[in-house]
C-alpha cells in the first residue's frame, strides 16, 4: 500500500489536491483492515499530505473533534467529510449536534479555516432527499456560525490569566447566546426561507416532481 501511494502521489496534478482517508472498520473483516487509521495518519504526516476525517466512520462515543488540533501540527490541511454515524453505520443526515458543533469549533479555535475543506455526505432513504440535504446543510452552517461567534479571544484571555472558572462559565453562557437569530436574519436578507418555511417548498417539489419518478 505504501509503495502504491508513493507512485500515485509522485504524479503532479495541476489544480488538484490529494487527500487520504483511513479505513476505520471493515464489514465482514475480522483480522485485518488494509489502510488503518495509524497507517494513514503516519503516512500523511511524513509525506505532507492532506488527511481526511470522515465523521460518519467513528464509533458514536468518539469525539472526532479531539483529533483536529493534533493533526494540524503535522499535516498541511484537513478534508472534513461531515456525516453522522449510527452504531458503525455511516452517512446519516448531519445534525446540529455536539459532534458537529465541536468539529467546527475546533477548526475555528485553531484559526484553521484556510486549512480545512468542508464536504457533506449523507443520505437516508426513509425521508425526503431534498429535506435531508437542507437539514444537513443548515446544521453545518449553524455549527460554523456558532463557532465564529464564540468569544474565543476572551476565553483565551481567561485561560492565560488562570481564570478557569470564568472560562468555564463563559463557555456555558455562550451555549445560549442568540446565534439562531443571526442565522435567521442572514437567511432573510438573502431571500432564503427562515426556520421551517422551507417545508412547503420541499413538499411542493415532492408532489410535483419526486412523486412522478419511477
The string of pLDDT tens digits covering residues 51-84 is 999 998 887 788 899 999 999 999 999 999 999 9
DSSP 8-state class, residue 93: P
How many Å apart are CA 77 and CA 113, to the nearest integer? 10
How many Å apart are CA 79 and CA 66, to the nearest integer? 15
Q: Is residue 208 part of a domain?
A: no
Q: Is residue 38 part of a domain?
A: yes
Q: Is residue 69 part of a domain?
A: yes
C-alpha closest to that of 115 among 162, 51, 161: 51
pLDDT band at 25 (very low <50, low <70, confident <90, very high): low
pLDDT band at 37 (very low <50, low <70, confident <90, very high): confident
**pLDDT, position 91:** 84
Q: Is residue 202 part of a domain?
A: no
How confident is the prediction for the chain on average, in pLDDT? 92
Residue 24 has pLDDT above 90, yes or no: no
> Which residue segment(s) compose the domain that 12 sits in?
2-152
Cβ atoms of 122 and 136 within 8 Å: the answer is yes
How many Å apart are CA 118 and CA 7, to the nearest integer? 27
- Residue 128 DSSP SS3: coil
pLDDT band at 31 (very low <50, low <70, confident <90, very high): low
Q: Is residue 7 part of a domain?
A: yes
Q: Which residues contact 210 (CB under 8 A, 6 or more apart)?
A: 128, 129, 130
**pLDDT, position 34:** 77
Q: Is residue 43 part of a domain?
A: yes
What's the pLDDT tens digit per position in 82-116? 999 887 677 899 999 999 999 999 999 999 999 99
**pLDDT, position 23:** 78
Residue 5 has pLDDT above 80, yes or no: yes
Q: Is residue 28 part of a domain?
A: yes
What's the pLDDT tens digit per position in 141-196? 999 999 999 999 999 999 999 999 999 999 999 999 999 999 999 999 999 999 99
How many Å apart are CA 189 and CA 95, to the nearest integer? 24
Q: Which residue has the higher pLDDT, 26 or 91?
A: 91
Q: Is residue 166 part of a domain?
A: no
Domain count, the chain: 1
**pLDDT, position 16:** 93
Rounded to whole angstroms, the maximal C-alpha distance in the chain is: 64
What is the CATH classification number for the domain harbouring 14? 3.20.20.150
Amino acid at each position: 500500500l505504501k509503495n502504491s501511494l508513493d507512485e500515485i502521489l509522485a504524479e503532479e496534478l495541476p489544480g488538484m489536491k490529494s487527500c487520504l482517508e483511513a479505513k476505520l472498520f471493515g464489514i465482514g473483516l475480522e483480522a485485518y483492515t488494509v489502510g488503518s487509521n495509524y497507517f494513514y495518519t503516519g503516512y500523511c504526516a511524513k509525506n505532507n499530505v492532506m488527511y481526511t476525517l470522515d465523521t460518519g466512520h467513528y464509533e458514536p462515543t468518539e469525539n472526532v473533534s479531539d483529533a483536529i488540533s493534533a493533526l494540524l501540527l503535522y499535516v498541511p490541511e484537513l478534508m472534513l467529510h461531515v456525516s453522522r454515524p449510527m452504531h458503525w453505520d455511516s452517512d446519516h443526515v448531519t445534525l446540529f449536534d455536539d459532534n458537529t458543533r465541536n468539529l467546527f469549533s475546533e477548526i475555528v479555535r485553531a484559526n484553521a479555516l484556510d486549512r480545512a475543506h468542508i464536504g457533506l455526505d449523507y443520505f437516508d432513504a426513509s425521508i425526503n432527499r431534498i429535506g435531508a440535504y437542507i437539514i444537513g446543510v443548515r446544521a453545518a452552517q449553524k455549527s460554523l456560525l456558532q463557532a465564529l461567534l464564540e468569544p474565543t479571544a476572551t476565553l483565551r484571555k481567561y485561560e492565560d490569566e488562570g481564570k478557569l472558572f470564568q472560562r468555564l462559565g463563559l463557555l456555558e453562557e455562550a451555549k445560549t447566546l442568540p446565534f439562531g437569530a443571526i442565522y435567521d436574519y442572514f437567511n432573510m436578507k438573502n431571500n432564503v426561507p427562515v426556520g421551517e418555511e422551507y417545508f412547503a417548498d420541499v413538499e411542493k417539489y415532492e408532489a410535483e416532481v419526486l412523486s412522478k419518478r419511477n
